[in-house]
């Protein structure tokens, strides 16, 4: 996970801001900030005015153009792909399966120590085979983070464990520029007190349903049978919940290849007239007419065209379908 990716990108282009509180804006929101700003109380996804009230010295940088972030993400992923199979999770995050390299290293040398933070204590004197694999995994994680910083300038945090879910949870425990490993012996103690929202796929509605069942933590969920979860959420999701609350995740790291579609979108505050909309961004209106649609496309299309050109140069693909969608008052 690249630490405060957007903010770090802007600071790398402006090194003199390294020790200053920096926020990245999109429209009227501060979407993210660096750790200096966070320590001063600036949260993510808050209106600009609110962020400035939290920190009057906050340096704001417009981050609406995602082009430099996409380019930086591509460079970072190219470095990481040298170490194993990579599954992208957005511009700033990925899962990496290093099993093959870990097995090679364990076979050729006896690992003796972990790197970084470890949940489960020092296991060097009583390590299981699984712990030895994780031990080498932490060493590889440190190598990956070092390579990314050396070759791109970006600092990353990393989580290491036996599956994707636990590794993602571990990643958030110690930041920035740190790594954390969750050993098998530490899984249950770590999992039990966590809120159910930590489980992938559990949103507000599922959380509310579980609360009605008396379940607020993963430990609470362990008291439910597979039949109870399946009857409430269906077989597939019920099985996933039953496994997840015990720290199990059997999904594999998959390189999903190139994106099947490219899109660009924008959102605007409500407008009461076309003239008002034109003033806002010269591209929006509530009632879409052919003239208005042309203005919208003229605003959004250049970014999409540039990305299509990049994609064609890399993949030799040509798009076959073009779709325009709009939503007004929550209705498509």
Handedness of CA 91, 74, 38, 163 (dihedral sign): positive
Beta-sheet strands, E only, within 15-70 = 22-26, 29-33, 46-47, 59-62
What are 171's two structure tokens?
């990643």
Q: Which pLDDT tens digit goes with each residue over 53-72?
A: 999 999 999 998 888 999 99
- Domain co-membership, 39 together with 13: yes
Q: Look at residue 253 and tell me if it is in a domain.
A: no
- Tell me, what's the pLDDT at 42? 94
Residues present in the chain in total = 332
Q: Is 93 a catalytic residue?
A: yes
Do 58 and 82 lie in a common domain? no
pLDDT band at 295 (very low <50, low <70, confident <90, very high): low
Domain that holds residue 282: 269-332
Whether 45 and 105 share a structural domain: no
Q: How far apart are CA 77 and CA 115, in angstroms?
A: 22
Residue 115 sits in the same domain as residue 129 = yes
For the stretch 290-321, what's the b/e string if a residue is b when 16 or more beta carbons lie within 10 angstroms of its beta carbon? eebeebbeeebeebbeebeeebeeeeeeeeee
* 202 and 287 in a common domain: no
The answer to whether residue 279 scores a pLDDT higher than 70 is no
**What average pLDDT is seen over the chain?**
87
Query: CA 74 to CA 78: how far, in whole Å?
Result: 6
Q: Which of 65, 91, 116 delimits the end of a domain?
A: 65
Q: Taking residues 207-231, report their average pLDDT.
A: 96
Average confidence (pLDDT) over 293-319 = 70
Show Cβ contacts of residue 216 under 8 Å, excluding neighbours closer than 6 positions.
195, 196, 210
Domain count for the chain, please give it.
4
Q: What pLDDT score was predicted for residue 286?
A: 40
Residues 48 and 136 in one domain: no
Q: Extract the tokens encoding 200.
A: 């992938």
Fill in the DSSP letter of residue 192.
T
pLDDT of residue 25: 95
Average pLDDT over residues 196-204: 93
- Euclidean distance between CA atoms 26 and 164, whole angstroms: 31
Q: Is residue 41 part of a domain?
A: yes
CATH number of the domain encompassing residue 228: 1.10.150.20
Q: Are the beta carbons of 154 and 8 closer than 8 angstroms? A: yes
Residue 257 lies in a domain: no
On whether both 163 and 184 belong to a single domain, the answer is yes
Residue 20: inside a domain: yes
Beta strands in the chain (DSSP E): 22-26, 29-33, 46-47, 59-62, 85-88, 94-97, 117-119, 158-160, 179-182
Give the CATH number, domain containing residue 22.
3.40.1170.60
37 shares a domain with 110: no
The catalytic position among 87, 93, 143, 310 is 93
Give pLDDT, residue 133.
94
Q: Are residues 232 and 311 in the same domain?
A: no
Residue 90: give its domain's CATH number.
3.30.70.270
pTM of the model: 0.81
**Is residue 252 domain-resident?**
no
Among candidates 82, 102, 110, 106, which has minimal Cα distance to 94?
82
Comparing 327 with 254, the larger pLDDT belongs to: 254
At 119-154, the pLDDT tens digits run: 986 555 577 888 899 999 999 999 999 999 999 999
Do the Cβ atoms of 308 and 300 come closer than 8 Å?
A: no
Boundary (domain end) residue, out of 157, 174, 189: 189
């Amino acid at each position: 996970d690249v630490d405060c990716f957007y903010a770090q990108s802007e600071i790398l282009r402006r090194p003199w801001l390294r020790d200053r509180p920096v926020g990245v804006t999109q429209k009227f929101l501060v979407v993210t900030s660096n750790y200096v700003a966070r320590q001063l109380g600036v949260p993510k996804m808050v209106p600009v005015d609110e962020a400035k009230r939290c920190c009057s010295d906050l340096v704001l940088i417009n981050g609406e153009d995602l082009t430099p972030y996409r380019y930086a993400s591509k460079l970072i992923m190219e470095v990481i792909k040298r170490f194993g199979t990579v599954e992208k999770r957005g511009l700033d995050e990925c899962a990496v399966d290093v099993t093959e390299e870990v097995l090679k290293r364990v076979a050729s040398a006896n690992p003796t120590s972990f790197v970084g933070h470890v949940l489960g204590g020092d296991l060097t004197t009583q390590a299981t085979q699984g712990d030895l694999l994780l031990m080498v995994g932490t060493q590889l994680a440190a190598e990956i983070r070092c390579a990314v910083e050396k070759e791109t300038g970006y600092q990353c945090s990393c989580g290491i464990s036996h599956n994707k879910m636990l590794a993602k949870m571990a990643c958030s425990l110690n930041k920035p520029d740190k790594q954390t490993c969750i050993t098998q012996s530490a899984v249950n103690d770590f999992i039990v007190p966590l809120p159910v929202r930590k489980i992938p796929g559990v949103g507000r509605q599922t959380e509310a349903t579980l609360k009605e069942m008396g379940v607020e933590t993963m430990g609470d969920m362990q008291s439910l049978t597979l039949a109870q979860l399946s009857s409430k959420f269906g077989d597939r999701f019920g099985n996933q919940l039953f496994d997840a609350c015990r720290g199990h995740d059997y999904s594999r790291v998959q390189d999903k290849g190139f994106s099947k579609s490219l899109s660009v979108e924008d959102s605007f505050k409500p407008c009461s007239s076309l003239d008002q909309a034109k003033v806002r961004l010269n591209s929006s209106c509530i009632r879409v007419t052919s003239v208005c649609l042309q203005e919208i496309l003229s605003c959004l299309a250049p970014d999409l065209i540039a990305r299509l050109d990049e994609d064609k140069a890399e993949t030799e693909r040509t798009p076959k379908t073009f779709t325009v969608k709009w939503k007004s008052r929550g209705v498509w």
